Amino acid sequence: MLKIARLWLIFAVGVSGLASIGMAQSSQQPKTDVSLAESKKISPFPPKSVTVQITDGRAILKWTKVPSEKITGYDIYRVLDDGKLEKLGHTKELTFVDKRPPNGKTAYAVASVDYNDNRSKPREASVEASQ
């Protein structure tokens, strides 16, 4: 009887030890969550399929919606000769009209903007304009 009691005690201590090891391991899982501060720094995806065409002396830009409820709008830029971006405007629409495009080949870029005011990398499109 004494042997059975000892075996039972060893078994009970062993099981409780395994349970506590399991709890310790589960509380030390690798961190996969992003903090709120970190999430405010994550750039959204850029719009896809940016196109531009000249119609009636105006450059009409169109792009595909970024599938995220976090997007609040799009910034539109003209790409200058030195590669810098000149902001033309902001819209919530999927189109933008540059009423006075410059002559010659012109590049435009569209960046998505989220509710934390983060901007995506701009997606470019070019067009040849003549007046």
Per-residue pLDDT, 129: 67
pLDDT at 42 (0 to 100): 85
| 3 state SS of 124 | strand
CA 26 vs CA 18, 19, 34: distances in Å: 12, 11, 19
Using one digit for the tens of pLDDT, what is the confidence trace for 37-66? 666 678 999 998 999 999 999 999 999 999
Q: pLDDT tens, 63-122? A: 999 999 999 999 999 999 999 999 999 999 999 999 999 989 999 999 999 999 999 999
Of 33, 64, 59, nearest to 47 by C-alpha is 64
pTM value is 0.69
Q: What are the start-end ranges of the H helices in 28-116?
A: 36-39
- The 8-class DSSP code of residue 70 comes to T
- Distance between CA atoms of residues 124 and 108, nearest Å: 6
